[in-house]
Structure 1
C-alpha cells in the first residue's frame, strides 16, 4: 500500500507536500494518465528532443546555446521540471514558469546557417513544433512501450488538453491539432520543411547516447552500466521513428530488434508502474529535482484545494500576460543587441529561471 510504504524509513506519502491545487488538468485527466507513466521519463522525452532537431531553426537555436552539449545533464532535468510543472504543477507555479520561459527564450535568437533565415525560440510556429513533438512523442511511447492506446474518449481528451497546454506558450491554441488525424496532417505538412543537416545528425547522435539520464556524480565504475542503458534507451527511441526520419538521421534498425525492444520494455515499464513507490524511487534517482512535482500525481496525494483552471484563467488571476504578448521590451532589447549591435543577448531570463526549474551547472 502506498500509504504505508517507506523510502529511507519514512512513509513515502509524508515525504512530499500536496500541490496547492489541481493545476491545469488534475487527477482523472488523460494528461496525468499518460505523462505520469514511466515511459515519459526517458524514451518519450528523448524521442521528442531528437525529432525537434529536424526543424532547421530549432537545431540552430539549440546549437547556438551550447547547453545540450556542455550542460547535458542540467538541461535534461530543467526541461523535465518545466514539463512536469505544466502537466502536474499547481496553477500559480505553472503560470509563473510559463512566463519565465518567454524571458528565457528571448535570448535564443539568431541566424540559421541552413536556411539563412532568422530563428526565434518564441516564434509561435517554432513553439508549436516543440509542443507537438513533445505531446505526440509522450503519447506514442506510452502506446508502444506502455499499456497501449487510449480509448477514443481518452484520446479526444488528450488532444484537447494538449491544446489547453499550448496556452502556456506563444502558440495560438487555434493552430493546435485536436485529433490523431489532425496530428498526422500536421507532421505531414512539416515534412517538406524538415532538414537533417550535418549539425542535426550530430546533435541527434549525441542525444541518442542517452547516458545523460543518469546523475552526474555517480562513481566511475558505473560507466559501463550507464553506457549500456543509455544505448538501450537510444535504440528504443529509434524504434519509434517513422522510416523517413530514420533515413534522414542516417540510422538503421531491423524489424526483429524493434519487436524485441517492445517486448522487453513493455514489461519493464509495467513493472515500474505497478508499484507507485517503486516508480518514485526510480524517478528520485534519475530526476531528483523534478520528483517533488510528479510525486503527488503518482502517489495519489490530494491537492490542498480541489481547484483547477485553464492557463488563461491562471494568467489572468496571477497577473501574467499571455505568452505571445509577454515581455515585449525585453524581447525588443534582445533583438537590438543581437541583430543591430552584434552583442550577445542578455541572460536575464536564464538567471531568473534557476529559481523555478533548477540551476544550470
Structure 2
C-alpha cells in the first residue's frame, strides 16, 4: 500500500497546506515568533538568516512540506535531523545573560503554535472554507508535527480555545527587542539575492516585485493578532485586520490563476501520486 505519511487525503492538514496562500502565513509566523525574546535570540545567535534569507526560507519550506506531504520515513528523518541540529545549539538570554538550549520545550512550543496558528488563520482570512470544528481538527493533527520537533504532543494546544488560552498566558513574556526589531525590518524589506545580474537587481529593487513583496509583508503584519500588532507599534485597530483579510483573499484569487507548476512543489506532487495509487 502507498505510504501517505503522517496525514492523508481525508485530513484537514492536506486540504489547508494545498493552498499557496500559506506562504503569507509563513511570513506572519516569523513576525509573531520574533516577539519572544529567547526564541528571537536563538535565531539571531545561531542562524545566518541575514546572509542567506532565501536559502533559509527554502529549507524551512522543504521541511514543512516534508512533514505534511512526505512519506512516514521522510517525515521522521526530517524531524530527526531537525532535533539533532537544535540539540547542538545554545544562545544567551538578552536580559538575564543566561545560556539556554534552543530545544527547550517552551521555545519549541512557542514556535510550533505561532506557525500552525498563522497557517490556519491566514487560510481562513484568505477565504478557505473551514468550520470551527475543522480548525480544531487541524490543531489536533498538527501535534504530529510538534512531535517531530521533539515536543510531547500532550503539552501542545489541540484546539482554537487552547491556542487562545496559550497566547494569553504567553503575552506577559513577549516584547520587541533589538533582535526582533531588526527582524521586523529585515522581513519587511529583505535584500535581493546578490548573485543576480546587477541590472536585474536594480530592477527588482526599484520595480514591481519589490512593491509586490511589500504588499505581501504588510498583509502578513495586518493579519497578526491585535495584541501582536500593538507590540510592534501599531494601533491594533479592527480595520487593519479587515483590510489585511481583503488583501489575503485577493492574493489567493491571483495565485489560483497561476499554472499549477508554479505553486505545486515536487513533494506535494509525490504525495498526490501516492494518494492516487492508493485508490486504484
TM range (shorter): 0.7 to 0.9
In the alignment, structure 2 segments of 5+ residues that lack a partner are none
The match for 2:26 is: 45
Q: Distance in 1 between matches of 2:137 and 2:100?
A: 32
Compared with structure 1, are the counterparts of its residues 163 and 172 closer, same or farther at alpha carbon in structure 2 (3 Å cutoff)?
Answer: same
In the alignment, structure 1 segments of 5+ residues that lack a partner are 1-18, 285-290, 308-361
Compared with structure 1, are the counterparts of its residues 181 and 257 closer, same or farther at alpha carbon in structure 2 (3 Å cutoff)?
Answer: closer
Q: Distance in 1 between matches of 2:82 and 2:47?
A: 18
Q: Distance in 1 between matches of 2:174 and 2:239?
A: 28
Compared with structure 1, are the counterparts of its residues 303 and 133 closer, same or farther at alpha carbon in structure 2 (3 Å cutoff)?
Answer: same
Compared with structure 1, are the counterparts of its residues 36 and 85 closer, same or farther at alpha carbon in structure 2 (3 Å cutoff)?
Answer: same
1:173 and 2:156 correspond:
no
User: Is contact 1:166–1:176 with CA below 8 Å preserved after alignment?
Assistant: yes
User: Is contact 1:73–1:216 with CA below 8 Å preserved after alignment?
Assistant: no
How much does 1:207 deviate?
Answer: 1.1
| Structure with higher RCO (Cα < 8 A, 6+ apart) | 1
The match for 1:61 is: 42
1:110 and 2:84 correspond:
no
Helix, strand or coil for the counterpart of 2:15? helix
How much does 1:36 deviate?
Answer: 1.6
How much does 1:253 deviate?
Answer: 7.3
How much does 1:230 deviate?
Answer: 1.5
How much does 1:292 deviate?
Answer: 1.0
Within-5 A mapping of 1:212-291: 217=196, 219-220=200-201, 221-223=203-205, 224-251=207-234, 258-273=241-256, 278-281=259-262, 283=263, 291=265
Q: Deviations over 1:267-314 (max 9, x none)?
A: 3313433x6x72431x37xxxxxx2112345xx43348749xxxxxxx
User: Is contact 1:238–1:253 with CA below 8 Å preserved after alignment?
Assistant: no
Aligned length: 275
User: Is contact 1:211–1:229 with CA below 8 Å preserved after alignment?
Assistant: no
The match for 1:134 is: 115
The match for 1:33 is: 15
Helix, strand or coil for the counterpart of 2:82? helix
How much does 1:256 deviate?
Answer: 5.2
Q: Deviations over 1:85-110 (max 9, x none)?
A: 00111111111010011121123202
Q: Distance in 2 between matches of 1:248 and 1:257?
A: 14
Q: Deviations over 1:204-256 (max 9, x none)?
A: 221122567x8964722233222111211111011112232122222457765
The match for 1:158 is: 138
Which is further off, 214-223 or 197-206? 214-223
User: Is contact 1:210–1:230 with CA below 8 Å preserved after alignment?
Assistant: no
If the length of structure 1 is used for normalisation, what is the TM-score? 0.69
User: Is contact 1:52–1:58 with CA below 8 Å preserved after alignment?
Assistant: yes
Q: Distance in 2 between matches of 1:57 and 1:292?
A: 35
The counterpart of 1:292, out of the listed 262, 266, 277, is: 266
User: Is contact 2:222–2:243 with CA below 8 Å preserved after alignment?
Assistant: no
The counterpart of 1:192, out of the listed 169, 172, 179, is: 172
Q: Distance in 2 between matches of 1:279 and 1:114?
A: 47
Q: Deviations over 1:291-345 (max 9, x none)?
A: 2112345xx43348749xxxxxxxxxxxxxxxxxxxxxxxxxxxxxxxxxxxxxx
User: Is contact 2:5–2:69 with CA below 8 Å preserved after alignment?
Assistant: yes
1:204 and 2:184 correspond:
yes
Q: Distance in 2 between matches of 1:132 and 1:250?
A: 23
Q: Distance in 1 between matches of 2:4 and 2:194?
A: 30
Q: Distance in 1 between matches of 2:75 and 2:218?
A: 33
Which segments of structure 1 move beyond 3 Å, counting only runs of 4 or more?
214-218, 251-261, 302-307
The match for 1:302 is: 274
Q: Distance in 1 between matches of 2:194 and 2:277?
A: 34
Q: Distance in 2 between matches of 1:181 and 1:254?
A: 22
If the length of structure 2 is used for normalisation, what is the TM-score? 0.88
How much does 1:20 deviate?
Answer: 6.0
Q: Deviations over 1:179-213 (max 9, x none)?
A: 1111100111111111211221111221122567x
